[in-house]
Amino acid sequence: MKRKKKKRSKTKNTNIIKAVTMLVAALCFAFLTAVLVTILKRVPGFTNGIYTKWSVFAMHTLANFFSFVKFSVAEVLIYILSVIFLSSLVILIVNLIKKKHRVTRIFKFITAWMLVFSVTAFLFYALWGGMYYSKGIGNYLPVNSEDIKERPVEELVNLNKYLIEKTNRLAAEVPRNQQGYYTGYEFQRTAAFTAKEVSKITGKEEAPPKYVVSSDAWSYTQTTGIFIFLTGEANINKNNLAIALPFTCAHELAHRNGITSEDEANFFAFYSLHNSANINLRYSAYAMTLMYTMNSLYSKDAAAHKELASTYCDLLKHDYIRYHEHWDRYEGKTSEISDKVNDTYLKAQGQSDGIYSYGRVTDIMLAWYENDIVKNKK
C-alpha cells in the first residue's frame, strides 16, 4: 500500500510540475504577445514597412505550400483540435468522477489550454494579426484615406444609379440555364478565375481559395468565407449562389494580402473583379456591391431607395430574390450566436462598427466613384 501511495504521490508531483511549466510558458507567450502588439500599435513605420512585407510573404508562402492539397488544411486542423479538446475534457471528467487528484488534474487541464491559446495568440499577431494596425487598403488600391468620408445623399444616389445601370446590363448578358437561372461556374473554376484576377492587383501568384467540406452545416452560421492565418488559406462556403461566390473568394484573398478590415476587403473584391474580362466575375462584383450601397441608401433615404430599386431589371430582381431566399433558410439561433461572436472579434481588433463594418464599403465606393468615374467624365 505504501508503494502505491508513493507512486501516486510521484505521479501527482509530476503533473504539478508539468502544469506549472505550462503556466510559465503560457505567461511568457502572453507577455511576448503584449510587447508585440504594443510595438505594432505605436511604431507605424515598422508595422507598415517590415511587418507588412513579412506578413504578406508569410501568408503567401503558407498558402502556396498547402495549395498542393485540394482540401482545406485549416478545416482539418480545426477538427483535430476540437477532437483533442473534447477528448481531454472527457478524460478530465472521468478522473474527477474517480476522485483522482482532482485539483491537480483541473490545474493541468487549464494550464494546457492556456498554453495553446497563448501560443495561438502570439502566432496570430506575429504572422498576420498586426495588419489590423497597418494602413491596409493603401498598400494596393488607388483610394486615399482622406477621400473616404461622409458625403451628401445625392452622391450616394448617383453612385447607385451608376451601379444599377452596370448591373442591369450584366444581368442580361451573363449565361443562364433554360429556366433563366444564373448558375455561373462550378466552384473550382470560380476560385481559379478569381485568384487569377486578384493576382493582377497584388502582383503575386495567388493560391486559389478552397471550399470547406462542412459547407452545408456551416451555412447555419451565415458565414460565407473565412481566412485562416495558420495556413494562409481562403476558406469558402460553397453552399452559396453563383452571384456571390467570386466576390466572396476575392474578399477572403484580400485578407491574405493584409487587408484586414471588412469594408476594405469588400472594396478590394469589387475593384479586383469589376474590370475582369470574365463576365461572371464582373457580374458578381457589381451585384454584390450594389447590395451594400443600396442598403446604405435605404438607411438614409428610404424613398430614394424604393425609386431606384424599381429600376432593377427583372433578371437582377430574380437573382436577388434567389440569393435572399437561399440564406433565409439558414437563419436562426445559430446564426445569431455566430453574428455575436464575429461582432465581438471585429470590435476587439479595432473595428468599432463590428459586423456592420462590411457595409462601410459604401464610403470607399463613393471615393472611388468620384475619383475614377465622375472626374473622368469631365
The per-residue pLDDT for range 154-177, each reduced to its tens digit, is 999 999 999 999 999 999 999 999
Instruction: Grade residue 9 by pLDDT with cuts at 50, 70 and 90.
Output: low
Amino acid at 365: M
What would the pLDDT profile of 234-275 be if each residue is shown by its tens digit?
999 999 999 999 999 999 999 999 999 888 999 999 999 999
Confidence of residue 71 (pLDDT cuts 50, 70, 90): very high
pLDDT tens digit sequence for 45-67: 999 999 999 999 999 999 999 99
- Average pLDDT (298-316) is 94
Mean pLDDT of the chain: 88
For the beta carbon of residue 233, count every other beta carbon within 10 angstroms: 27
Name the pTM for this structure: 0.90
Alpha helices in the chain (DSSP H): 2-42, 44-46, 52-66, 73-97, 102-127, 153-173, 187-202, 215-218, 245-256, 262-273, 279-300, 302-309, 314-328, 333-348, 361-368, 375-377
CA angle 135, 141, 147 (to 5 degrees): 70
> For residues 283 and 167, is the Cβ–Cβ distance under 8 A?
yes
Collect all residues with Cβ–Cβ distance below 8 Å to 41 and sequence separation of at least 6: 47, 133
234-248, 311-325, 329-343: least confidently modelled range: 329-343
Report the pLDDT averaged over residues 287-315.
Answer: 94
- pLDDT-derived band at 1, boundaries 50, 70, 90: very low
Backbone angles phi, psi at 223, to 5 degrees: -95, 125
Q: How confident is the model at residue 150 (pLDDT cuts 50, 70, 90)?
A: confident
Q: Where are the domains of the chain?
A: 2-134, 140-377
* Residue 353, pLDDT score: 54
- Burial class, 95, CB count within 10 angstroms (exposed 0-12 / middle 13-18 / buried 19+): middle
CB neighbour class for 99 (10 Å; exposed up to 12, middle 13-18, buried from 19) = exposed
Distance, C-alpha 5 to centroid of its chain: 53
Query: What residues contact 63, with CB distance under 8 A and at least 6 apart?
Result: 206, 207, 231, 232, 233, 234, 256
The residue with greater pLDDT, 198 or 178, is 198
Alpha-carbon gap, residue 257 to 206, rounded angstroms: 10
CA-nearest of 285, 283, 183 to 240 is 183
- Among 64, 283, 321, smallest CA distance to 195 is for 64
Exposure string for 211-228, b = 16+ CB within 10 A, e = fewer: bbeebeebbbbbbbbbbb
Per-residue pLDDT tens digits for 112-125: 999 999 999 999 99
pLDDT at 23: 93
